[in-house]
Amino acid sequence: MAKRPTRPVNDAGHDDGGDESLERLRRHLAFLGLTHTLDTLDDTLARALRERPGPTSLLERVLGAEAARKLEQRVTRRIDGSGIREHKTLEAFDWSFQPTLDKAAFAELAHLDFVGRCDDLVITGKSGTGKSHLLMAIGRRACEHQLYVRYARCVDLLDDLHAGLADGTYERRLKAWARPALLIIDDVGLGQVKKRDNEPTAAHALFNLIDLRHGKASTAVTSNIALSDWGRYLGDATVAMAILDRLAMLAIRIDIDGPSYRQHVAEKRASAKANKKPAKE
């Protein structure tokens, strides 16, 4: 067990309040919710006795560490609440694998000015080209910047809104999805959009949401089908056109024209496996 430091002594060599003062300090820290400072108090006091920093630098060090911990917890809560479940980052993206992709454009997006401008973002491309990876990475970055982000696959978002029709919470759910500063609607074109008998249909629900957000907050979308196929996918060509019309107005468009990374990983695995097999006589 770590040895408790001896009673704090100030620069002049005077007793620094003693055990009672130390107990009061612990109670203050607990009351103020400065849990990191409380948990590390023994170490902090021991270090202060050893290094004897000035009062300003001691306070700055202690409160700086507490603030950093609080920020970290806040970002973790934002990421957890966003619905982004995979840890994807721009740093982990292999840009050399997708040489036609404009790396500078993503560096610019990572600054998140487009969210401040309420611009939309539409990324299209074939399966496995990294669309979801890139948007999850940008979503994570936005959480780190303390922005309110929500992420959902298109079918899950539509299912959530549909559930609201059954229990009378449709409007409330629609408003909730309209609130985030950045809403990521991933994988338009993937998964079966269920046929709705009751209004609004899937296409109408998505339209209502995009219309609510249009010009007020950023919506980022990925799609592995051509935008011209959205009508067929959503089951209503006219409403799909109205959605695209709004998205097109304020959207940054990126098309990833390249190979599938999934395919690449599968091929690498297969060749590693083949190389492991003992050579036939």
Ligand X SMILES: Nc1ncnc2c1ncn2[C@@H]1O[C@H](COP(=O)(O)OP(=O)(O)OP(=O)(O)O)[C@@H](O)[C@H]1O
Q: Which residues bind Mg ion (CB under 5 A)?
A: 132, 187
Residue number with CB closer to ligand X (147 or 188)? 188
The CA dihedral of 220, 222, 228, 233, to the nearest 10 degrees, is -110
Report if residue 94 touches ligand X, rule: CB under 6 A: yes
Three-state DSSP state, 208: helix
Q: What is the x/- site pattern for ligand X, positions 211-250, by CB under 6 A?
A: -----------x-x--------------------------
3-state DSSP assignment of residue 165: helix
Q: Which of 36, 88, 162, 204 binds ligand X (CB under 6 A)?
A: 88
Nearer to ligand X, 208 or 224 (CB): 224
Based on the shown chain and the rule CB under 6 A, indicate whether residue 124 belongs to the binding site for ligand X: no
Q: From the centroid of its chain, how far is CA 47?
A: 37
With CB under 5 to 8 Å by kind, the binding choice for 262 among ligand X, Mg ion, none is ligand X
Count residues near ligand X (CB under 6 A). Answer: 19
∠ CA 126-128-134, nearest 5°, is: 100
How many helices (H) and strands (E) in the chain?
A: 13, 5
Q: How far is CA 22 from CA 16, 55, 220, in A?
A: 9, 17, 52
Instruction: State yes or no: residue 129 binds ligand X (CB under 6 A).
Output: yes
Q: Which residues bind ligand X (CB under 6 A)?
A: 88, 93-94, 97-98, 125, 127-133, 187, 190, 222, 224, 261-262
